Amino acid sequence: MIHIPDDDDKVRKLGVKFKKPPSEDDPELKLVMFEKGQCNHLWRIEGPTTRHAQYLLREGEMEVECGLCGTKLDPMFVLKKLAREESQWQRHRQQHLDEMKRLNERSRTKCEHCDRMTRISKR
């Protein structure tokens, strides 16, 4: 790194003030924890039960409202949550179909009582 002295005639100072670096006492990102009874717009714990959020959509408007607390939400937040749920449902459905296909192809199984192989009734 080249060091140029401040009193050099060829160096012109710009009127720019630099920000102070963040201190360790004040982090830039803070994690907000939800306590029992608070709404995180996904679910809310109420005593021994958990209530899942419903989203209220108004036709012709560009807003979504949390059905638990009434807060206006970012539509992309809700869309991403619903897309994740849909993907998970599709994976579980495919796993179920694969398992049912595997079971339907079987013709014999082991008896729980006598430990012998026995035919499966296809009624």
What pLDDT does residue 7 have? 61
Mean pLDDT of 56-84: 88
pLDDT digits (tens, 9 = 90+) for 32-48: 666 666 778 887 777 78
φ/ψ of residue 64, rounded to 5: -125, 140
* pLDDT over 90 at 88, yes or no: yes
3-state secondary structure 56-120: EECCCCCCEEECCCCCEECHHHHHHHHHHHHHHHHHHHHHHHHHHHHHHHCCEEECCCCCCEEEC
Cα 92–chain centre separation: 17
The structure tokens listed for 16 are: 């720019």
* pLDDT over 90 at 26, yes or no: no
What pLDDT does residue 84 have? 92
What's the whole-model pTM score?
Answer: 0.54
What pLDDT does residue 95 have? 96
CA–CA separation, 64 vs 82, rounded Å?
Answer: 13
Look up residue 2 and give its amino acid.
I
What pLDDT does residue 89 have? 94
What pLDDT does residue 87 have? 94
What pLDDT does residue 37 have? 62
Ramachandran sector of residue 100 (left: φ over 0; alpha: ψ -120 to 50; beta: rest): alpha
The structure tokens listed for 90 are: 């599709």
* pLDDT over 60 at 1, yes or no: no
